[in-house]
Structure 1
Amino acid sequence: MMSILIADSGATKTEWCLVNENTQTFFTEGLNPYYHSTDSIKKVINQDLLPKLSEPIQKVFFYGAGCDSEGKDQLVLEALESCFIDAENHVYHDLFGAARACFWNEPGIACILGTGSNSCLYDGEKVVEHIPSLAFILGDEGSAGYFGKKLINKYFRFEIPDDLKQDLEQNYNMSLDHITKGLYDGDQKSRFIASYGAFLGEHADHPFVKEILYEGFESFISRILLNYTNATDYEVRFIGSVAFAHQDLIKEILAKYNLKPGLFVKNPMERLVTFHTDSALQQS
């Protein structure tokens, strides 16, 4: 069996899965080309991944956040080709990876709800429609970044109930200086803001939090998913920790808009491994 390396790279971390007789998983930091150069990606791979690999790699499939344009995916490809000289290297947007993980070779609407959010209409082979997420500053509805931004805003507008406010202040740094520094000086601004979104997940049953979560997910569904061509004809499937944690609420909102809920997958890697393993067997 050939050695295949699959990468799922988000804002926070990159999961690498070596697929051979004994599948192994490794982690490095996230390798988003909007925040990394070719040289910095090579440095991470050379220092944190290659020493753990004990055999030559024949194929690399890299699915990454930020790999959504020819310039950005080329930046990652150059790093891979430098590190895996003898391998066949492929770079795809993480949205395409989500679509493959959600549906394999079937059509449907694939969604990501994690640190950020994204979605597409997939025909079983390629993305045929994509409504842009607009990133955490302008969009990313339903994501941890979106909810983190809402929480911080409501805190400084004195809108959070006292019981939640006390818990928030005890467990999160709500200093304005700390938040401003994270926003303006940090390399990973979306990840910083998304870290505050975890608070809502920890208090999902609180009526105030439920209202925020409902608004965020409904905005993602009604303002984005419903705009795909014939959206109600397709099953809607989700990738990501936020979607997985709140799937009952999301299903409720999907039903409200006559959309068909399908799989909720916390981590796409297992299904990507199956997809590429089956593809390799079919080609052999």
Structure 2
Amino acid sequence: MAFLIADSGATKTEWSFTNGDQQKTVFTEGLNPYYHTTESITDVIRHDLLPQLDDNVEEVHFYGAGCDSDAKEQIVRQALDSTFDNASINIYHDLIGAARACFLREQGIACILGTGSNSCLYDGEEIVEHIHSLAFILGDEGSAGYFGKKLINKYFRFEIPKDLKEDLEANYNMSLDHITKGLYDGSQKSRFIASYGAFLGEHDDHPFIKDMLYEGFDNFISRIVLKYSNATDHEVRFIGSVAYAHQDLIKEILAKYDLEAGLFVKNPMERLVKFHAEGA
């Protein structure tokens, strides 16, 4: 069986084609139906993906940020239907992808900490509880977008120590006009704000940054993870670049709340391939 899996986030889409022992990985831009049309998704697939695939695809499994309603899912489905004529098309929200990547067919609390954040309680087959992330404007605690927003706010409130302020100004565009334009004119505002969150990862040994990271992860764990039913009875696993980079701090906070830390998955695609190769 030749199958293609897509893990599509705000920043990029990772495509993994598997046919027996053959496997190939291709990267394209993120394909979120909140920001993309069927036509623009089709263009990316035809120009950036299909030329790199040599064999026919029999199944497509697309895990996508933004595929959270029938209307948004349909935008992606139409693009995939038009480019993979003979394949069966399966579209899932990225949260079920996170749950499968974290736990395969076991149960537990699955968390995403990357450009955005999300979580769910997974029973090994389905999501049984979901506390909404509220996106980067209202929520997304512990994500790069959350930290980017906090950093910008502290900069313009004159709360950042001088050494960090100078480093920030030297390496990031801190012009208010630039930031305002990115917020109001940009097509992917969360990704724009999240780009500033990278600064915390570059300075995570600084006491000021440590406090910011601790506050953000503590908010995610105490205000979201801890509120799942019988949370302390479940293992908590994570995917996402932010979680993987700061797993020691996250484990410390989990322990404070008597929560059991499990895997921190660096590459969810490897686990998704395993899930589908074993038969969904």
| TM range, smaller chain | over 0.9
Partner residue, 2:108: 108
Corresponding position of 2:39? 39
Partner residue in 2 for 1:179: 179
Q: Aligned AA for 1:9?
A: S
Note the residue ranges of structure 2 that are not aligned, 5 or more in a row: none
| TM-superposition CA deviations, 1:84-124 (whole Å, max 9, x none) | 01001100000000000000000000000000000000000
Alignment partner, residue 217 of structure 1: 217
User: Quick one: which amino acid aligns to residue 236 of structure 1?
Assistant: V
Find the aligned partners of 2:232 and 2:68 in 1 and give their Cα distance. Answer: 26
CA distance in 1 between partners of 2:249 and 2:178 (Å):
32
Q: Distance in 2 between matches of 1:65 and 1:266?
A: 18
Q: Counterpart in 1 of 2:10?
A: 11
How many residue pairs were aligned? Answer: 279
Which residue number corresponds to residue 260 of structure 2? 260
Following TM superposition, by how much is the alpha carbon of 1:228 offset from its aligned partner in structure 2, in angstroms? 0.6
Cα-to-partner distance string for 1:108-161 (whole Å, 9 max, x where unaligned): 000000000000000000001000000000000000000000000000000000
Displacement of 1:78 after TM fit?
1.4
Per the alignment, residue 137 of structure 1 pairs with 137
Matched, 1:197 2:202: no
Amino acid at match of 2:9: G
Q: Does 1:118 align with 2:118?
A: yes
SS at match of 1:23: strand
Task: Supply the AA of the counterpart residue of 2:32.
Answer: N
| TM-score for both structures, normalised by structure 2 | 0.98
Q: Deviation of residue 196 (structure 1)? A: 0.3
Q: Which secondary structure does the structure 1 equivalent of 2:10 belong to? A: coil
SS in 1 for 2:118: strand
Per the TM alignment, residue 207 of structure 1 is displaced from its structure 2 partner at its CA by: 0.5
Please give the TM-score of this superposition, normalised by the length of structure 1: 0.97
Q: What is the alpha-carbon root mean square deviation over aligned residues?
A: 0.7
SS in 2 for 1:190: helix
Superposed displacement of residue 202, structure 1: 0.5
Q: Which residue of 1 aligns with 2:247?
A: 247
* Aligned-residue offset at 1:52: 1.0
Distance 2:266 2:184 in 1: 30
State the SS of the aligned residue for 1:173. Answer: coil
Q: Distance in 2 between matches of 1:81 and 1:122?
A: 29
1:158 aligned residue: 158
Once residues 131 and 231 of structure 1 are traced to their aligned partners in structure 2, the CA distance between those partners, rounded to angstroms, is 13
Which consecutive aligned stretches of 4+ in structure 1 deviate over 2 angstroms post-superposition?
none
Tell me the secondary structure at the aligned position of residue 91 of structure 1: strand
Kindly, what percent of the aligned residue pairs are identical?
76
